[in-house]
Chains A and B, each alone.
Chain A
Amino acid sequence: ELKVEQNPLFLSMQEGKNYTIYCNYSTTSDRLYWYRQDPGKSLESLFVLLSNGAVKQEGRLMASLDTKARLSTLHITAAVHDLSATYFCAVTPFQGAGSYQLTFGKGTKLSVIP
């Protein structure tokens, strides 16, 4: 069974600070996704990481993937209040029928305090 673990699950940080959210997964995969969810809303795609060493950036968020370590990170630079949301990573296994399956971590609830 594919397991996806995020940490921390809760993160409270001050505006202007930097922090990293970690996503570990248990099976071979070269496809990892980051999503954002605002309260009461559905999930919005942030990043798609498709190979070892992939790095993508959008504004104050940067995501990276290390498939050998089975680890992805979501780095937040100079946080602002608008980044307050829950962030999920999700993984698709590398091959087989299960390669269609998309398994999520439990999410990291980020609160950015003025």
Chain B
Amino acid sequence: DVKVTQSSRYLVKRTGEKVFLECVQDMDHENMFWYRQDPGLGLRLIYFSYDVKMKEKGDIPEGYSVSREKKERFSLILESASTNQTSMYLCASSLIRQGGTEAFFGQGTRLTVV
């Protein structure tokens, strides 16, 4: 079974802190994604990566950065956390090949910024 593991289920951080959300997948997938999920807004793509050290902005990258130094690990960084970044964060991974495969999701990290 594909496993996508996010480092924390729940996090509480203070405004202005630098926050790291870690995601690890064990299926050698090329693609990795970070989404945030908010009520009424669905899942919105923050960043994605299709290879090591490669990153592409999604729909809402402002206030976030990412790092992919190893294929299995994709980190989301909040440089200076703000209260409007309180949300559920979901990491996903997928194969990149033609014909498409579904993305597999981690369990989510519920981040509260106070």
Kindly list chain A residues whose C-beta atoms are within 8 Å of the C-beta of B50: 97, 100
Closest 5 CB pairs of A and B: A106-B42, A31-B100, A45-B102, A104-B43, A100-B50
B101 touches A48 (CB 8 A): yes
Give chain A interface residues in 1-45, CB to chain B under 8 Å. 1, 31, 33, 35, 41-45
Docked pose: A105 CA to B42 CA in angstroms: 6
Interface presence of B58 (CB below 8 A) = yes
Residues of A within 8 A of B (CB): 1, 31, 33, 35, 41-45, 48, 50, 88, 90, 92, 97, 100-107
New A-B pairs, 13, CB < 8 Å, besides A45-B102, A101-B45:
A31-B100, A42-B90, A42-B105, A45-B104, A48-B102, A88-B43, A90-B43, A90-B103, A100-B31, A102-B45, A103-B59, A104-B43, A107-B43
Kindly list chain B residues whose C-beta atoms are within 8 Å of the C-beta of A33: 100, 102-103
Kindly list chain B residues whose C-beta atoms are within 8 Å of the C-beta of A31: 100
Interface string of B91-114 (1 = CB under 8 A from A): 010101001111111111000000
Shortest distance from the beta carbon of A29 to any chain B beta carbon, whole Å? 9
B96 touches A104 (CB 8 A): no
Kindly list chain A residues whose C-beta atoms are within 8 Å of the C-beta of B101: 48
Known pairs A42-B106, A97-B56, A103-B45; A48 contacts B100 (CB<8 A): yes
Docked pose: A105 CA to B35 CA in angstroms: 13
Known pairs A42-B90, A101-B48; A50 contacts B104 (CB<8 A): no
**Pick the contact of B99 from A45, A50, A100 — CB < 8 Å?**
A50
